[in-house]
Structure 1
Amino acid sequence: MSMIANKATTAQITATLEKLFEEHFDKKPESIEALAVSGSDRRYYRITSGSTVAIGTYNTNVAENNTYFYFTELFRRHQINVPEIYHRSKDRRAYLQQDVGKTTLFDLVIKEGYTENVRKLYHKALAQLAKVQWVAGREADYKQCFSARQFDEKAIMSDLLYFKYYFADLQGIPYDRSLLISEMELLSKDLGRVQPQTFMYRDFQSRNIMVHEGKLYFIDFQGGMQGPPQYDIASLLWQARAQLPAPWKEDLLNSYIASLADLHVPRMDEIYFRRGYVQFVLVRLLQVLGAYGFRGLLQHKAHFITSIGPALKNLETFLSGHPQTPNYPELRSLLEKITSRDMQDRYATAITDKEPKLEIQVCSFSYKGGIPKASGPHGGGYVFDCRGLLNPGRYAAYKYLTGNDELVKQFLERETRMPDFMNHVYALVSINVEDYIARGFEQLSISFGCTGGQHRSVYAANELAKHLRARYNVKVEVTHLNEKKWLLADEQPTDTNAH
């Protein structure tokens, strides 16, 4: 099996979590549902037995888990809403925690828009954040942090370089590299001295705030450390995909500062605090672009590619509203080039008034039925053979699932060379797509085959379609040619000895 030594398989992980569930609740789980993951290596499952539900989590980074356990206990002691941890495995790699539903604050922004209800939830979130930072943060032992203990000059410089290497340098924009590094060092040194220092959540954004039974719950705080409180406010109010209106940002910042009086926070210099806030908005915007570049442009994850456009618009809005920030000419010049209209058009994902000519047909098929014939005026197209990858269908846990299922997706992404395979596919297909668009061609066919046309090829077809939709203004149609012959759970043979 193509995976690193001692790495648990998906089947082993689910068995471990099911055992924890049975130990804690004294009942066997009836179902286990893999939950989607994006940027982390943690794996999440919703485990159910009757009305009893828990979230099973598996993470091989024990130091990170220990940090999460520590901060969970600290926050709950201060009546801050975070999921309760029910049970942990002896090796501290697996644990069960409270299920706080499926709805995030971000989901509500997208669904409802900028309603009064959503605005009130943002106010509540910032009031709770202040409590996390200034109350729980006072007694936090930052030696418990699993990576960095403090968001200091080195950490700030690391974020700026993350942006430089993983986003700016990939755009082919000329700039004075030596001067830019010097300016980034000066900016990092300046911001590393900003006071006060409290608990810094590090990734405080609306996707990490759950709305459950009328309450807000915070998740994914294991990256926390000591740092400036302004960074977390900036992370929430300037989240690229949320695009909060400017009046909301000002109102929410004002209410956060006013809420500190209720927590008996020592009097601070508000002008100095607001100046620091503006600077950390910039740092956060650049760090986010670095993350989108790494996850999207290098790892080809469609969600992150589609987020680049809104992030560039966010940065443009910031620069136009703060003509003196950053007050470094080479950095300012680079950022203005990065937010130019040409750059924003490059990453625009919205359908324009001009409908695309190119239509791409992506399909999965079974080699048992032969390679499908290409249709359309140009003929030809790509055919990719997925049979060189480990087949999930060999294992009982996946035999009656398909490439549409989260368990199969995680198996292929973590236990096979599918990510390498897809990176090569993206690179090859992009050559033709870009050429076809430039030449006004109208059709391209791309096929993925595997033994049964149920797992590997289905996954690959779906992922390529997501990538193409995120990267290009084209029509993409996906067809799974062997779908009617898939072996599904409700069609399993009654004879348990059947193979």
Structure 2
Amino acid sequence: MSQAESPHRLEQLRLWAQAQHPSIEGSSDLVLAAGDASFRRYYRLTLESGETRMLMDAPPPQEDVGPFVAIARDWHAAGLPVPRVYAVDADQGFVELEDLGDEPLHLALDGADEATTHAHFDAAIALLEELQRKAPSDSLPPYDAVTLARELDLFPDWCLAQWLELDGQPPGWPALRQALIEQALAQPVVTVHRDFDAMNLMRHAAELWLIDFQDALAGPITYDLISLLHGRYRRFDAATRAAWSEAFRQRAIADGRLSDSVDSDSFLRWVNAMAAQRALKVLGIFCRLTLRDQRDGYLARLPHFLAHLQDSLEGLEGLAGHADFSAWVEDSLRPLIEARVAEVRP
């Protein structure tokens, strides 16, 4: 049981909520609303008026509410749809937020036909473009070479060495790793949500709202786009992804986020390189969540993100290390992952 799940921790949160709203004392039952891959938990609080609030429980020292609160206030001031912050106790790791309900975008994708699915993704991309136009990036940490390298290294460290118990590096890996970093650093810098996914877009008051943005950085223009198009809930074909990417490129040129010197092929190469970087990172993170944090359910998602990795590699022919690494993924990594996932399935 994590600290956030302990009865003592919940009682601390209840007492804090009562201190913010004395009129609810004695009737402040908290209902667990959501948890995520971190140590954070979210509880719904009902006020005397019937209005509800969302309480974030982010236990120190594992979590720090400071970045979330600062970004929420900056983005709210910029006119972006983010939950309002009502109260903060950074020492205890508690935040009282506007309640955006229980309808993340991914629920609307369940059973949706192709036209409806595409409409939802169009709306999400429109919100992403609004984020990039409005959100200040100068106060955010940089998505620099050190960060990119650290994320890429999650793949050999956790997926290969720890989970699959493989020795050595895959063929082509050092060259490909460096090439992916260079492709990311070549891109224009914008505000990057860093987990712009259907799970982190809430449907509320007839629009999409941003949540879970505490890890935002100033970084590559394509990162959030590929987080969505190569995300948890859908796998689109190459032509569909390319069409969305090209429309995004044209609008970015029109509103000044991107130079008109960046042609279609160059931009799509950035997209695929960024998608490969993120897929590799996610494969490592999911193994780390399983092995280190004892979280269930993540191994079953590995084949999905392995498919995303292979999709992105198909668009990177000629990149340093690409040929050897791609062949190894198909011939060695895929069979290994599929066999190991089959072993752990109930």
TM over 0.5, shorter chain: yes
Deviation at 1:338, TM superposition (A): 4.9
Deviation at 1:82, TM superposition (A): 0.8
Residue 95 of structure 2 is matched in structure 1 by 95
Residue 197 of structure 2 is matched in structure 1 by 205
Which of 151, 158, 179 is equivalent to 1:159?
A: 151
Whether 2:67 is the aligned partner of 1:73: answer no
Quickly say closer, same or farther: Cα 1:184–1:325, change in 2 above 3 A.
Answer: closer
Residue 112 of structure 2 is matched in structure 1 by 113
Equivalent residues, number: 338
Any idea what SS the aligned residue of 1:9 has?
Answer: helix
Q: Which amino acid is the alignment partner of residue 134 of structure 1?
A: R
For 1:259 and 1:324, the matched residues in 2 are separated by 28
Whether the 8 Å CA contact 2:192–2:224 is kept in 1: the answer is yes
Whether the 8 Å CA contact 2:188–2:258 is kept in 1: the answer is no
Any idea what SS the aligned residue of 1:74 has?
Answer: helix
Residue 285 of structure 2 is matched in structure 1 by 291
Whether the 8 Å CA contact 1:183–1:331 is kept in 2: the answer is no
Deviation at 1:94, TM superposition (A): 1.4
Residue 220 of structure 2 is matched in structure 1 by 228
Whether 2:15 is the aligned partner of 1:9: answer no
Any idea what SS the aligned residue of 2:44 has?
Answer: strand
Q: What are the ranges of 5 or more consecutive residues in structure 2 without an aligned counterpart?
A: none
Q: Which amino acid is the alignment partner of residue 226 of structure 1?
A: A
Show CA shifts across 1:40-72 (max 9, x none): 112211111352100011224588422212211
Any idea what SS the aligned residue of 2:53 has?
Answer: strand
Show CA shifts across 1:295-326 (max 9, x none): 12444422212211222232233344554456
For 1:94 and 1:30, the matched residues in 2 are separated by 16
Residue 137 of structure 1 is matched in structure 2 by 136
Whether 2:185 is the aligned partner of 1:193: answer yes
Which of 298, 301, 314 is equivalent to 1:304?
A: 298
Percent identity between the two aligned chains: 19
Residue 164 of structure 2 is matched in structure 1 by 171
Quickly say closer, same or farther: Cα 1:67–1:299, change in 2 above 3 A.
Answer: closer
Whether 2:38 is the aligned partner of 1:48: answer no
Whether the 8 Å CA contact 1:47–1:55 is kept in 2: the answer is yes
Residue 310 of structure 2 is matched in structure 1 by 316
Show CA shifts across 1:371-419 (max 9, x none): xxxxxxxxxxxxxxxxxxxxxxxxxxxxxxxxxxxxxxxxxxxxxxxxx
Q: Which amino acid is the alignment partner of residue 280 of structure 2?
A: L
Deviation at 1:96, TM superposition (A): 0.8
Residue 263 of structure 2 is matched in structure 1 by 270
Quickly say closer, same or farther: Cα 1:192–1:90, change in 2 above 3 A.
Answer: closer
Any idea what SS the aligned residue of 2:95 has?
Answer: strand
Quickly say closer, same or farther: Cα 1:255–1:328, change in 2 above 3 A.
Answer: closer
Normalising by structure 2, we get a TM-score of: 0.85
For 1:192 and 1:317, the matched residues in 2 are separated by 18
For 2:332 and 2:106, the matched residues in 1 are separated by 26
Deviation at 1:237, TM superposition (A): 0.4
Whether 2:50 is the aligned partner of 1:58: answer no
For 2:212 and 2:42, the matched residues in 1 are separated by 12
Quickly say closer, same or farther: Cα 1:245–1:329, change in 2 above 3 A.
Answer: closer
Deviation at 1:289, TM superposition (A): 0.5
For 1:230 and 1:173, the matched residues in 2 are separated by 32
For 1:300 and 1:326, the matched residues in 2 are separated by 36
For 1:228 and 1:213, the matched residues in 2 are separated by 30
Quickly say closer, same or farther: Cα 1:270–1:101, change in 2 above 3 A.
Answer: farther
Normalising by structure 1, we get a TM-score of: 0.61
Deviation at 1:253, TM superposition (A): 1.9
Deviation at 1:76, TM superposition (A): 1.6
Deviation at 1:185, TM superposition (A): 5.4
Q: What are the ranges of 5 or more consecutive residues in structure 1 without an aligned counterpart?
A: 143-148, 349-433, 435-470, 475-499
Any idea what SS the aligned residue of 2:202 has?
Answer: strand
For 1:338 and 1:96, the matched residues in 2 are separated by 48
Show CA shifts across 1:264-297 (max 9, x none): 4353413433321111110011011011111124
Residue 19 of structure 1 is matched in structure 2 by 19
Whether the 8 Å CA contact 1:289–1:308 is kept in 2: the answer is yes
Residue 122 of structure 2 is matched in structure 1 by 123
Whether the 8 Å CA contact 1:313–1:339 is kept in 2: the answer is no
Quickly say closer, same or farther: Cα 1:43–1:151, change in 2 above 3 A.
Answer: same
Any idea what SS the aligned residue of 1:83 has?
Answer: coil
Q: Which amino acid is the alignment partner of residue 33 of structure 1?
A: V
Report the RMSD for the aligned CA atoms in angstroms: 3.1
For 1:116 and 1:77, the matched residues in 2 are separated by 34
Q: Which amino acid is the alignment partner of residue 68 of structure 2?
A: Y
Q: Which amino acid is the alignment partner of residue 36 of structure 2?
A: S
Quickly say closer, same or farther: Cα 1:192–1:241, change in 2 above 3 A.
Answer: closer
Which of 230, 242, 250 is equivalent to 1:238?
A: 230
Quickly say closer, same or farther: Cα 1:290–1:102, change in 2 above 3 A.
Answer: same
